[in-house]
Structure 1
Amino acid sequence: MKKEFAVIGLGRFGGSIVKTLAEEGLGVLAIDADEDRVNEFARIASHAVVGDTTDENVLRNLGIRNFDHVIVAIGENIQASILTTLMLKELGVGNVTVKAQNDYHEKVLRKIGADYVVHPERDMGRRIAHNIVSNNILDYLELSDEHSIVEIVASQKMNGNSIFDLDIRAHYGLNIVAIKRGNEINVSPQANDMIHKGDILIVIGADSDINRFEKKIVE
């Protein structure tokens, strides 16, 4: 059976989630207090409804507990975000992802039971900053406050060396989880796999180790 999703808040973030889920052929209920936004997504989502999700009766009438995953993408109204999240968990929704405005908002959301908390603006800002600062980093995904997974372009210094030769794990505490070369991708590469200039290395590890590796080996 296909999973059913509900997205509360149809701003840029919530709207993009609705569109992506719909493109994947998944059932998605789009909810917003603004009728114009709801009308905009009426032909995109499986269902689109106008509703105040801080009202428990509204959530009950929507059968919200029957959805596999609910995304709370409410924009600037932190109080509405918190109240909605609280009621979703009290009604028994298994998976609730919430957009946080700041760290304080995140702390409150986690205390009331939010399963996942995201900071789309902050995280995208960090990704863009990393891409701007380094010519070698193609993409950057924060896994925690101290660990990330990055796509790094192999430099001339790395050309013709095997993973064993570079001994990246021992020297830098990093793991190469995949190597992309053209249209091919080598998942879980072995110690004797060679690295060529221009290869894209997908590396996971602590941010401090990634920075050290980039300065010593990549650049």
Structure 2
Amino acid sequence: MKKEFAVIGLGRFGGSICQTLSDQGMEVLAIDMDEDKVNQYANIASHAVVGDTTDEMVLKSLGIRNFDHVIVAIGDNIQASILTTIILKELGVKKITVKAQNDYHEKVLSKIGADKIVHPERDMGKRIANNIISNSVLDYLELSDEHSIIEVIANSRMAGYSLIELDIRAKYGINIVAIKREKEIIVSPQASELIQEGDILIIIGADSDIDRFQTKLYSR
């Protein structure tokens, strides 16, 4: 069965989620107070409606509690974001993801029970910064305040050695969970797997351990 999603707030962030979910063939209800934005997504989402989601009756009339996942992507109006989230929780929505504007907003969202809180601008800033400071880092994804996943290009220092010879887990406390090699993806590679220069290593671990790994194997 297809999952049903509702996206509240059709700014750049909410609009991109709406577009991507729709492209994946999901059922998407798009909601915004701005009629122009709703019209923009009328032919993209399964349904697009103008509505004030701080009004409980509006959300009830849309049958919002029947959706599998509601994404609150309201832009600058923190009060509207918080009130909408509270109503969604009270109506018994299964899963709620909310865009936070700042740390204060995140704390409030946590207290009122948002299932997942995202900081798209902050997180993208961290990804860009990590890409800028290291030519080896292709991508960076923060899992928590202290743990991340990164993609790095295997250099000549690692080439020709197996994972067990490099002993990365014991030395640095991080795990190589997959290797991208041209069109091939090796998931949970064996200890005997030989690293080739240019391989893309997908690494998970504590930020401090990842930093030690990069300093040791990538600094000149």
Q: What TM-score results when the alignment is normalised by the length of structure 2?
A: 0.99
Please give the alpha-carbon distance, in whole angstroms, between the structure 2 residues aligned to 1:43 and 1:9.
16
Give the equivalent residue in structure 2 for 1:185. 185
Letter in 2 for 1:198: G
Aligned-pair CA distance for 1:73 = 0.1
Where do 1:1-219 residues align within 5 Å?
A: 1-219=1-219
Instruction: Please identify runs of 4+ aligned residues in structure 1 that moved more than 3 A.
Output: none
Show CA shifts across 1:135-192 (max 9, x none): 0000000000000000010111111111011100111000000011111111000111
Q: Give the aligned length.
A: 219
Please give the alpha-carbon distance, in whole angstroms, between the structure 2 residues aligned to 1:196 and 1:134.
20
Letter in 2 for 1:6: A
- The SS at the match of 2:18 is helix
Letter in 2 for 1:191: A
Please give the alpha-carbon distance, in whole angstroms, between the structure 2 residues aligned to 1:150 and 1:218.
14
Please give the alpha-carbon distance, in whole angstroms, between the structure 2 residues aligned to 1:217 and 1:14.
39
Please give the alpha-carbon distance, in whole angstroms, between the structure 2 residues aligned to 1:217 and 1:164.
16
Aligned-pair CA distance for 1:217 = 1.3
- The SS at the match of 1:194 is coil
- The SS at the match of 2:157 is helix
Letter in 2 for 1:179: I
Please give the alpha-carbon distance, in whole angstroms, between the structure 2 residues aligned to 1:159 and 1:69.
44
Letter in 1 for 2:82: I
Letter in 2 for 1:33: M
Query: Is the CA contact 1:154–1:218 (under 8 Å) kept in the aligned structure 2?
Result: no
Please give the alpha-carbon distance, in whole angstroms, between the structure 1 residues aligned to 2:91 and 2:28.
19
Q: Which runs of 5+ in 2 are unaligned?
A: none
RMSD between superposed Cα atoms in Å: 0.6
- The SS at the match of 1:92 is coil
Please give the alpha-carbon distance, in whole angstroms, between the structure 2 residues aligned to 1:20 and 1:104.
29
Q: Which runs of 5+ in 1 are unaligned?
A: none
Q: What TM-score results when the alignment is normalised by the length of structure 1?
A: 0.99
Aligned-pair CA distance for 1:218 = 3.0
Please give the alpha-carbon distance, in whole angstroms, between the structure 1 residues aligned to 2:218 and 2:168.
12
- The SS at the match of 2:19 is helix
Please give the alpha-carbon distance, in whole angstroms, between the structure 2 residues aligned to 1:217 and 1:196.
15
Aligned-pair CA distance for 1:196 = 1.2
